[in-house]
Structure 1
Amino acid sequence: MLICPICSGALHSLDNGVQCSHGHRFDRARQGYLNLLPVQHKKSLDPGDNAAMVEARRRFLDAGHYAPLAARLAELAAARAPARWIDIGCGEGYYTAQLAEALPDADGYALDISREAVKRACKRAPQLTWMVASMARVPLASASCTLLASVFSPIDWNEAARLLRPGGGILRLGPARMHLFELRQKLYDEVRDYVDDKHLADLPDELKLADTQTLEFRLTLDSHAARADLLAMTPHGWRVNAERRERILAEPFEVTVSVRYDWIERQ
């Protein structure tokens, strides 16, 4: 099932790690994950979200602010009854753990390029196979999965098509047009309109949109911590200047949470 990220040969368990027939060996970290991101595949020394960003997301999600998003995701995944699934860009594992709970009899995998994220994520559901790896080179065999989950994460469509069996699909949770609109109003002088189906323009012929659902609700950010963590975990927060940041953090406000769930099927 697992394949070597260097030569694509099958990986087999050996001592406290895995190894292919060509002798490429990858040890399991003490937290339980496999690091399958060779140094030659990294674009920086420590790619992905850093510890501060991961901790902000963990605090915000564990506080339950996005609980309806995770519940709907788990419900939709369970309805597909996959035999083997993988969460691409799993982050600190909040959504992954709920997928694992909804799919107790399925073979589950999860990966993220951020080592800091996976270190924390693998504690949530130790029964899964957790990996530090890149979506551009997922270390799983071709046509091995029936469901690929992606939550607020970019997708390499061709790699996704390679991983999926015919009839399997991608369960994608992404922002809709009004997602965090009020926060964006506070951050930018001019809020650009967001086209929430632009990702579908790049689908290869093997992948087709089969179903779309939306979920929307209002969220009150009544604590300084919630506002700070939301800023820290979104790309919007990276761009704001200090003065505007302090104005945003100063007082409670409401935001619209608006997302879409796409089921993109492998033909």
Structure 2
Amino acid sequence: MYLCPLCQLPLVLNQRQYQCSNKHSFDLAKEGYVNLLPVQQKKSLDPGDNTEMMQARRAFLQAGWYQRVAEQAVAMLSAVKPQQLLDLGCGEGYYSGILQQRLSPQQLHGIDISKTAIRFAAKHYPKAHFAVASAYQLPFVAGQFDAIVRIYAPSLLSELQRVLKVGGYLLTVTPAPDHLLQIKQALYSEVKLHSSEIVELAGFQHLARQQLSFTLDRLTAEDLSHLITMVPLGWKFNQETQASFINSKPTIQCDFYFDLYTLSL
């Protein structure tokens, strides 16, 4: 099911090694994932979220604070019954695991550029297939998937068009205007809200939008610290402002857009 990231020829699994006809080979890790991110595609020695961010996100998600996000994704995909499903930018696999369990696709693939996250995902969700790979050069054959889930992850439009079947579905999850508003207010004197505009994607038809909004008002100091650590805004806190923000025990607004598209090329 994989393509060689060096020459784009099909990879064949022989015992515990993927190999193409050009003799490029990639070992299957003991956890069950394969690393298909060659050094030529890396922008740093260890790209993606670091261990601290991954562990913080894992703790926050496992505590169930974003369970409604997973449930909404399941609800919007359940009607299309995807059998070949890709979780793009899957991280440590929280959403992959729920999608696998609730939708029961024939195959669920998850990719991320973070080796640390993929190692964790493969270890904890053995029914899914995980690979370290770039969303800008997806290691899959054309038309392989009938649905793709993209939760926050950046991607290349032409690659989405290539690996998705015509008539297949793309579900994107993005921040709506008031997402994490209280964190922004703690950092900026003037807060810029996220756009409410529906993004037009060439080759895709927009089918539906659902907005999911809820507040987190029972976060412990540890939960709030995990949330700050796992989001990009967290880098803007210094130790003093973060401690002050956590001690204020804020209620956090969560606001998401779920947009469903179909490939109409």
Task: Please classify the TM superposition score into its range, dividing by the shorter chain length.
Answer: over 0.9
Q: Which residue of 2 aligns with 1:216?
A: 213
CA contact (8 A) 2:212 2:256 kept: yes
Q: Which residue of 1 aligns with 2:229?
A: 232
CA gap of 1:220–1:174, structure 2 versus 1, over 3 A, is same
CA contact (8 A) 1:75 1:102 kept: no
Selected match of 1:264 from 249, 256, 261: 261
Q: In the TM superposition, what is the alpha-carbon distance from 1:187 to its structure 2 partner? A: 1.9
Q: Which residue of 2 aligns with 1:70?
A: 70
CA gap of 1:124–1:74, structure 2 versus 1, over 3 A, is farther
Q: Which residue of 2 aligns with 1:4?
A: 4
Q: Which residue of 1 aligns with 2:57?
A: 57
- Helix, strand or coil for the counterpart of 2:255? strand
Structure 2 counterparts to residues 30-49 of structure 1, below 5 A: 30-49=30-49
Q: Which residue of 2 aligns with 1:103?
A: 103
CA contact (8 A) 1:108 1:129 kept: yes
Runs of 4+ residues over 2 Å off in structure 1 = none
- Distance in 2, matches of 1:230 and 1:11, equals 38
- Distance in 1, matches of 2:136 and 2:96, equals 20
Q: Which residue of 1 aligns with 2:156?
A: 156
Q: In the TM superposition, what is the alpha-carbon distance from 1:106 to its structure 2 partner? A: 2.1
- Distance in 1, matches of 2:186 and 2:43, equals 33
Q: Which residue of 1 aligns with 2:246?
A: 249
- Helix, strand or coil for the counterpart of 2:210? strand
Instruction: Give the number of aligned pairs.
Output: 264
Moved more, 25-34 or 186-195: 186-195
Give RMSD over aligned pairs.
1.3
- Distance in 2, matches of 1:161 and 1:233, equals 30
TM-score, normalised by the number of residues in structure 2: 0.96
- Helix, strand or coil for the counterpart of 2:223? helix
Q: Tell me, which stretches of 5 or more residues in structure 1 are unaligned?
A: none
The residue type equivalent to 2:195 in the other structure is V
- Distance in 2, matches of 1:179 and 1:98, equals 23
Q: In the TM superposition, what is the alpha-carbon distance from 1:174 to its structure 2 partner? A: 1.2
Structure 2 counterparts to residues 3-22 of structure 1, below 5 A: 3-22=3-22
Alpha-carbon displacement from aligned partner over 1:125-161 (angstroms, at most 9, x marks no partner): 2111100000001100011111011112122211101
Q: In the TM superposition, what is the alpha-carbon distance from 1:83 to its structure 2 partner? A: 2.0
Q: In the TM superposition, what is the alpha-carbon distance from 1:238 to its structure 2 partner? A: 0.8
The residue type equivalent to 2:259 in the other structure is D
- Distance in 2, matches of 1:221 and 1:153, equals 28
The residue type equivalent to 2:134 in the other structure is S
Q: In the TM superposition, what is the alpha-carbon distance from 1:221 to its structure 2 partner? A: 4.4
Alpha-carbon displacement from aligned partner over 1:192-225 (angstroms, at most 9, x marks no partner): 1221336x15x22x11211111111111143110
Alpha-carbon displacement from aligned partner over 1:219-247 (angstroms, at most 9, x marks no partner): 11431101100100001101122321121
Percent identity of equivalent pairs? 34
- Helix, strand or coil for the counterpart of 1:253? coil
The residue type equivalent to 1:208 in the other structure is Q
1:187 aligns with 2:187: yes
- Distance in 1, matches of 2:24 and 2:42, equals 17
Alpha-carbon displacement from aligned partner over 1:90-140 (angstroms, at most 9, x marks no partner): 011111101101222421100000001111111232111100000001100
- Helix, strand or coil for the counterpart of 2:26? strand
CA contact (8 A) 1:212 1:263 kept: yes
Q: Which residue of 2 aligns with 1:125?
A: 125
Q: Tell me, which stretches of 5 or more residues in structure 2 are unaligned?
A: none
Moved more, 93-102 or 241-250: 241-250
- Distance in 2, matches of 1:189 and 1:148, equals 38
CA contact (8 A) 1:221 1:227 kept: no
